[in-house]
Amino acid sequence: MEKVDLYIKKIKNWKEETKLLREICLDCGLTEDFKWMHPCYTFQGSNIVLIHGFKDYCALLFHKGVLLNDANHLLTQQTENVQSARQFRFTDIKEINGFKSIIKAYIFEAIEVEKAGLEVKMKKTSEYKIPVELKEAYQKNPDLEKAFNTLTPGRQRGYLLYFSQAKQSKTRQSRIEKCMDKIFEGKGHMDR
């Protein structure tokens, strides 16, 4: 696919690793696509894996990785808030070559998960903890709570995660204040 070729041509790190992971994905019969600005591989329209690079590693992200057996304990949860996806991380091309048969086994298992129609039970928005600072902002401005509750569940989760990730109360307060206009406009944290 032309977009993936262009992506590989432009990346500065993990170029050879990305090429090899691409080859492995295609060898497994997956369809190549380009989503979220990265090479993505699908089976009958369903996302199976995505290739992406970071500073210290490149990874094959399994969209429903939490449902894989992971008998070799090789999959990593990227952050505590990622519910479904899991990464298979690599630090060099030799490592990918050494794991080639295991990578393919994981991909084939991910395809079977899709064929079986398995879904990840996602945490509901109501199960997320509301930061104290947001509760305080609701008390000062009841219209904020009404506006927040009219947002889609995904937008609500986005804000709750963004606010909660700040370690200091002052930072959480600042984030809430800066986001109030967007909340009143019905926009999500990442919306423009």
pLDDT at 37: 94
Mean pLDDT of the chain: 94
CA-based end-to-end distance of the chain: 30
**Residue ranges of domains in the chain, CATH in brackets:** 2-115 (3.90.1150.200), 125-184 (no CATH)
Q: For 9-35, how does the pLDDT look when each residue is reduced to its tens digit (9 = 90+)?
A: 999 999 999 999 999 999 999 999 999
Residues 61, 146: Cα–Cα separation, whole Å: 37
Please, which pLDDT band fits residue 100 given cuts at 50, 70 and 90?
very high
Residues 24, 32: Cα–Cα separation, whole Å: 11
Q: For 169-188, how does the pLDDT look when each residue is reduced to its tens digit (9 = 90+)?
A: 999 999 999 999 999 999 99
| pTM, to two decimals | 0.74
